[in-house]
Amino acid sequence: MTHRISRRARVLGASIGAGMLIPLVAAATPAAAATPPQVSCTSAKAGLAAKLQRDITAALANRTGTIAVGLYDRSTKTNCSLRSSSAYDSASVVKVTVLATLLWDAKKHNRYLTQREADLAKAMITKSDNASTSTLWSQLGLTKIKGFLTAAGMTQTKPGTGGYWGLTQITVRDEQKLLALTTAKNSVLSDNARAYILKLMGQVVSSQRWGTPAGAPAGVAVHVKNGWLSRATHGWRVHSVGTFKGGGHDYTITVLTHGNSTMQYGINTIQAVAKVIHKDLAAS
């Protein structure tokens, strides 16, 4: 099936690691919210929830577009969420799910990744290489991808069809579930698989290490994967997921956005949220 794609879309598809070239049609995404964001936080640490709720809300003040946020810190049993079940086009954030599916499937068949698979996985995560992602997505197929999502409890994630992995629908809730699986022992991903995912997320090229790592304190281990994509509806989708460990904390952050006028505007929104989260946790 062919799609008419504008010259601008072709240029974007060729120049960014956001998601494979996709048709300019409306996706199943929510309308921009008319009410101010209501961030909800809980914590076992006295005063931390109220501080995070206040500071994240302030960081989002006057930011346009639709923004969803998730934070979980194991050390202080802190949770923050905003629009945790709102769906967004995944862009390249789905690449962590592709890698996790590959490793989950290999474990089921009691085998190691081949050198070819390892090379594709490294390019997919560290450089956000789209061709490598398309190859692995095709190799796995929707049945295995859906199998992993079921095993992971990621019931809100809907894989893109027709090979359009960049149009997978994701939510903060499910991305936080995935990050939780990569950062603690569980029955879905082996310890080796978790270490491998974090290793690659820790080797993302410097030009793609924006977003949730912004403001992370020195000495904190940072693992990140970002996604960015412009479409005819909802403007730029700009997303960042990250895991952070050190300074007495062990936490994950997901920020999903769309309705951004430019990619940089989305990055700035995400980084404003990340900076206050890192600051508040470091001070707790």
What residues in the chain have per-residue pLDDT under 70? Answer: 1-37
Give the torsion sign (CA, 96, 209, 245, 236): negative
Burial per residue of 155-187, b for 16 or more beta-carbon CB atoms within 10 angstroms, e otherwise: ebbbbbeeebbbbbbbbbbbbbbbbbbbbeeee
Extract long-range pairs of 49-53: CB within 8 Å, 24+ residues apart: 49/78, 49/80, 51/280, 51/284, 52/78, 52/80, 52/276, 52/277, 52/280, 53/80
How does pLDDT run across 179-231, given as a tens digit for each residue?
999 999 999 999 999 999 999 999 999 999 999 999 999 999 999 999 999 99
pLDDT at 38: 87
pLDDT at 5: 30
Which listed CATH number (2.60.40.10, 3.40.710.10, 3.40.50.150, 1.10.10.60) goes with 36-282? 3.40.710.10
- Residue 149, token pair as written in the block: 């999502």
